[in-house]
Amino acid sequence: MTPLRTLALAAGLAAPLLAHADWLVGVAGPFTGQYASAGDQIKKGAEAAAADINAKGGVLGQKIKLEYGDDACDPKQAVAVANALVNKKVQFVHGHWCSSSTIPASDIYNDADIVMATVSTNPQVTERGLKNLFRIMGRDDQQGSVIGQWIASKFKDKKVAVLDDKSAYGKGLADEIAKAMKAAGKEPVLRESITAGEKDYSGIVTRLKNAGVDVLAYGGYHTEVALLLRQSDQVGLPLVIVGGDTMTNSELVTAAGKFADRVYFTFTPDPRKNPQATPIVERFRAAKIEPEGYVLYAYAALQLFEQAVTQAGGVERAKLEPVLRKGKFDTAIGTLEFDEKGDLKKPAFAIYKWTGGRYDYAE
Amino acid sequence: MGYALQQLINGLTLGAMYGLIAIGYTMVYGIIGMINFAHGEIYMIGAFLSVLTYVLCTALGIGPTPLVLLAMLFVSVAFTALYGWAVERIAYRPLRGAPRLAPLISAIGMSIFLQNYVQLTQGARIKSVPPLWQGGVTLWSADDFRVTFGWAQLTVVVVTLIVMAGFAWMITRTSFGRQQRACEQDPKMAALLGIDVDRTISLTFILGAALAAVAGMMAVLQYGVIDFSIGFIAGIKAFTAAVLGGIGSIPGAMLGGLLIGLVEAFWSAYLSPEYKDVATFSILVLVLLFRPTGLLGKPDVEKV
């Protein structure tokens, strides 16, 4: 073999390898605009994960390279960003952040056969039959079943009533709670609705008192919860209220005062408290970055990519999708498993409790 | 039994507040034959002024609680009365003698303006005052059911009784009361006898606004959560109370308020809390259909 031919052969072999020398991972989110703080967290998490994975030698011997797309939480811009990322030939996407961006953008990734992992919580994200989409966070409507099951086990011997405010969110949540309670063998003693925006709920709280209710599962917003707490105190009923993520609003504490300490609610778990994440959290803190909010979710999305690609032996949709749907993945936000729709099998919601104006995990 | 008694207390508290607002509707109707559609917003402004005073007092470190409550009452009543006076000056007096539709529309305009004015200056989010008291007195207990009169509820009922007694004395015993009643019966004759009718009408608006301010402050004590839109529903319900009692009749307004409060409490106690507004407004329709003069109204009223 002449040196020239050897060189030509080597070049010929090397060319395709050079073209795919890096895994191109798209990270899409609101890096500017109103929600830029969330975008910033995503960026920090993704960068740290890519650096950590590349330091260990990459995935299947190839390094990860990140490609950012800024949608500013605008559905129209999200479509443009998705097309741009597809043109840049990204092989995996983490994003978008806003449900209203994720929904239109995911159709474009689906057409381009790109697998994606998102943190958007609207049920519609996974209800449209897309198979390329995996959600690494809980859905809005999973809260109800989490609350219902928790009530059934925590308040076994107590009387529980279910109330809603007739809003789409509130009634949906309360219906799910009641369903999950019944499934767990706990029958609500009362199922009623109130009108949100009113001020006087003394009639309904007296009714709860008369029915001997100890715990109220409530679907609705924090204003009515504050009113229910204050008025139940006046009729001499120490009511405990369990609600959804709307109870994170600190207005609840100003309006309900110390009665707010009787409120439990579901919210996405704080991944910093996950034992699997401890070494990662420490590394972030050493680099003077607080891994709050979506930082660890972005980190986990890239860990998911790393593990799935390693198991599948490639990034093509036909290989990656079945692996993601069947496998178990240990990440910074816990062990992830997906169902047929691409939702998490174990909905990641934790029960929190207000205490003295701050909320933390309920015991 | 205990349950019914507890609901009676709830109804009384609610009815006391409706009654205070209803007096404002009925007095204005009595003297100028018009429904003051901005009255609900006056109540809302009274509530906002109480919250502002409370926040100011806490910021300046003024305590103890009774002193703060007095400050809330005085500031709220004084400034809300000013708003009541302004409503009359701006929306009614320039249209005295105009066709009836004109002041009606100007009052609705005033209502929209006041609501948006508060929304713009105070923000659309809820304003709140933490609970000033906890619990209450146990009145009676049987079958594991303790009937409790909450401290805030008790304050509302007692303050309302005092204010209403003072108000009744003023209308029946003082010279202003006589002038007010005279203008109500026959403004032309009253004017001929040397009564300043415009001044009396102004004072009527001021008094109505002062009572609404008391109701607003009571709402802050009892519920502690207010926003710019609370005036609408409270106003409509107080209006229903005034119609039920007989519009134009002051004892009727007190009675009507009480009855509406009790109907709401017992409806949500024994029927559906979801549809208690349906009960209230059905009363409005039925009274207007079958007894337009209300329970204590004078049958000769023919103003619409």
> Tokens at residue A11, please?
């070049």
Quick one: how far is CA B202 from the chain centroid?
Answer: 18
Domain ranges of chain A: 3-138+272-336, 142-267
DSSP A344: B
pTM above 0.90, yes or no: no
Beta strands A190-193 and A160-164 are parallel
Q: Model ipTM?
A: 0.85
Amino acid code (one letter) for A174: A
Say yes or no for a CB contact (<8 Å) between B148 and A235.
Answer: yes
**pLDDT tens profile B181-209:** 899 888 889 999 999 999 999 999 999 99
Q: What is the C-alpha separation between A197 and A185, in angstroms, rounded?
A: 33
**pLDDT tens profile B43-89:** 999 999 999 999 999 888 887 788 899 999 999 999 999 999 999 99
> Mutate which of B225, B227, B233 to test chain A, going by most A C-beta atoms within 10 A?
B225
Say yes or no for a CB contact (<8 Å) between B233 and A251.
Answer: no
Say yes or no for a CB contact (<8 Å) between B264 and A166.
Answer: no
Kindly tell me if the per-residue pLDDT of B5 is higher than 70: yes
> How many CB atoms are located within 10 Å of the residue A139 CB?
21
Q: What is the CA radius of gyration of chain B?
A: 19
- Mean pLDDT split into 10-residue runs, chain A, 363 residues: 51 48 92 85 94 93 94 92 95 91 94 94 89 89 88 91 87 90 92 87 90 92 90 89 85 87 88 85 90 89 95 92 92 90 84 88 79
Residue whose tokens read 């607003």? B216
Nearest-Cα residue of chain B relative to residue A238: B135
> Tokens at residue A313, please?
């032996």
DSSP class per residue in A180-224? HHHHTT---SEEEE--TT-S--HHHHHHHHHTT--EEEEES-HHH
Helical spans, DSSP H, in B128-249: 151-173, 175-185, 187-192, 197-222, 230-245
Taking the Cβ of residue A250 and every Cβ of chain B, the question of whether any pair is shorter than 8 Å is answered with: no
Q: What is the pLDDT of residue B303?
A: 52
Residue whose tokens read 């415009």? B198
Q: What is the C-alpha separation between B255 and B241, in angstroms, rounded?
A: 8
Degrees to nearest 5, angle at CA A279 with A274 and A285 = 100
Beta bridge partners of A161: A190, A216
Q: What is the C-alpha separation between A30 and A98, in angstroms, rounded?
A: 8
Helix (H) or strand (E) holding A15: helix A3-19
Say yes or no for a CB contact (<8 Å) between B273 and A203.
Answer: yes
Q: What is the pLDDT of residue A113?
A: 94
CATH tag for A142-267 (out of 3.90.550.10, 3.40.50.720, 3.40.1080.10, 3.40.50.2300)? 3.40.50.2300
Say yes or no for a CB contact (<8 Å) between B134 and A199.
Answer: no
Q: What is the C-alpha separation between A132 and A130, in angstroms, rounded?
A: 6
CA distances from A132 to A87, A116, A150, A188, B89 (A): 18, 6, 32, 39, 67
Nearest partner of A68 among A101, A25, A132, A33, judged by Cα: A25
The residue among B2 and B183 whose pLDDT is bigger is B183
Q: What is the pLDDT of residue B302?
A: 53
Structurally, at CATH architecture level, domain A3-138+272-336 sits in 3-Layer(aba) Sandwich (3.40)
> How many CB atoms are located within 10 Å of the residue A347 CB?
16
Question: Is the CB of residue A352 less than 8 Å from the CB of residue A264?
Answer: yes
Q: What is the pLDDT of residue B284?
A: 92
Same fold, A3-138+272-336 and A142-267: yes
Residue-wise over A240-276: b if at least 16 C-beta within 10 A, else e? bbbbbbbbbbebbbbbbbbbbebbbbbbbbbbbebee
Question: Is the CB of residue B115 less than 8 Å from the CB of residue B228?
Answer: yes
Q: What is the C-alpha separation between B135 and B137, in angstroms, rounded?
A: 7
The residue among B162 and A246 whose pLDDT is bigger is B162
> Tokens at residue A71, please?
């949608």
Q: What is the C-alpha separation between B235 and A199, in angstroms, rounded?
A: 13
Q: What is the C-alpha separation between B93 and B17, in angstroms, rounded?
A: 28
Q: Name the residue among A204, A227, A230 with its Cβ closest to that of B273.
A: A204
Q: What is the C-alpha separation between A323 and B194, in angstroms, rounded?
A: 95
Question: Is the CB of residue B225 less than 8 Å from the CB of residue B126?
Answer: yes
Q: What is the C-alpha separation between B8 and B153, in angstroms, rounded?
A: 12
> Tokens at residue A113, please?
């056969």
Nearest partner of B37 among B227, B220, B231, judged by Cα: B231
Taking the Cβ of residue A256 and every Cβ of chain B, the question of whether any pair is shorter than 8 Å is answered with: yes
Residue whose tokens read 């052969």? A9
Give the three-class secondary structure for B277. Answer: helix
CA distances from A255 to A306, A325, A357, B14, B72 (A): 47, 45, 11, 20, 18
* Mean local confidence (pLDDT), B93-113: 91
Residues of A in contact with B277 (CB under 8 A): 195
Q: What is the C-alpha separation between B276 and B263, in angstroms, rounded?
A: 8
Give the three-class secondary structure for A48. Answer: helix
* Mean local confidence (pLDDT), B150-155: 89
Q: What is the pLDDT of residue B32?
A: 86
Say yes or no for a CB contact (<8 Å) between A234 and B152.
Answer: yes
Residue whose tokens read 């404002």? B24
Q: What is the pLDDT of residue B224?
A: 87
HSE of A244 in the Cβ direction (CA atoms, 13 Å)?
A: 26
Report chain B's mean pLDDT, rounded to a whole number: 89
Q: What is the C-alpha separation between B82 and B73, in angstroms, rounded?
A: 14
**Contact map slice: A 265-304 vs B, CB within 8 A:** none
Say yes or no for a CB contact (<8 Å) between A236 and B225.
Answer: no
Q: What is the C-alpha separation between A67 and A91, in angstroms, rounded?
A: 10
Say yes or no for a CB contact (<8 Å) between A226 and B130.
Answer: no
Q: What is the pLDDT of residue B75?
A: 95
Biggest CA–CA distance in chain B, Å, is: 66
Q: What is the C-alpha separation between A48 and A53, in angstroms, rounded?
A: 9
**pLDDT tens profile A169-179:** 788 889 989 99
CA distances from B72 to A199, A226, B54, B158, B259 (A): 20, 22, 6, 17, 28
**Contact map slice: A 52-111 vs B, CB within 8 A:** none
Residue whose tokens read 């009692």? B245
Q: What is the pLDDT of residue A18?
A: 45
Kindly tell me if the per-residue pLDDT of B271 is higher than 90: no
